[in-house]
Amino acid sequence: MNSSHVPVTEWAALTPELMCSDLAHSLGVYTRLFGFTLNYTRPGFAYLSLGRAQLMLEQHDPGNGWLTGPLEQPFGRGINFQIEAPDVAGLHERLQAEGYPLFRPLKTATYMEGDTAHTQQEFLVLDPDGYLLRFIG
């Protein structure tokens, strides 16, 4: 597990907090397989980063006052998180070697911004609770 003893020096302007059915399992997947660094933790909570991307994981608690409705798997339906990975091809290879299921395999994609084409490598995976992650590089 990647662990940082250096506090986050620049907080992301938007940091998603994802509810997890099993925080310990999700934390292992995010750090060991996806390559995130654990910046800090407290009971039921973890703050992670990968490059400039930051996110929080929280153990699901049915009594949590922040839930807006029932939490049913797959969590995060209707959203995907684009995360820039330092070595997207290497990450893809690691997940394949571990037998981690891919939602979509690595491909080169081009997206238009007006007349400007932006090309990137990308692949998609579901995290243990069904959040859709799109790793790009």
pLDDT at 4: 53
What is the residue extent of each domain of the chain? 2-61+79-136
Q: Which residues of 19-35 are buried (b: 16+ CB within 10 A; e: fewer)?
A: bbeebeebbebbbebbb
Give the C-alpha separation, 52 to 41, whole Å: 18
Using the predicted structure, report yes or no on whether residue 8 has a pLDDT greater than 80. no
Neighbours of 131 (CB within 10 A): 22
Q: Identify the DSSP state of 65.
A: T
pTM of the model: 0.90
The string of pLDDT tens digits covering residues 21-38 is: 999 999 999 999 999 999
At 80 the three-state DSSP class reads strand
Report the phi/psi class of residue 57: left, alpha or beta, with left for phi > 0 and alpha for psi in -120 to 50: beta
The string of pLDDT tens digits covering residues 68-95 is: 888 889 999 999 999 999 999 999 999 9
CATH class of residue range 2-61+79-136: alpha beta
* Under 8 Å between Cβ of 2 and 41: no
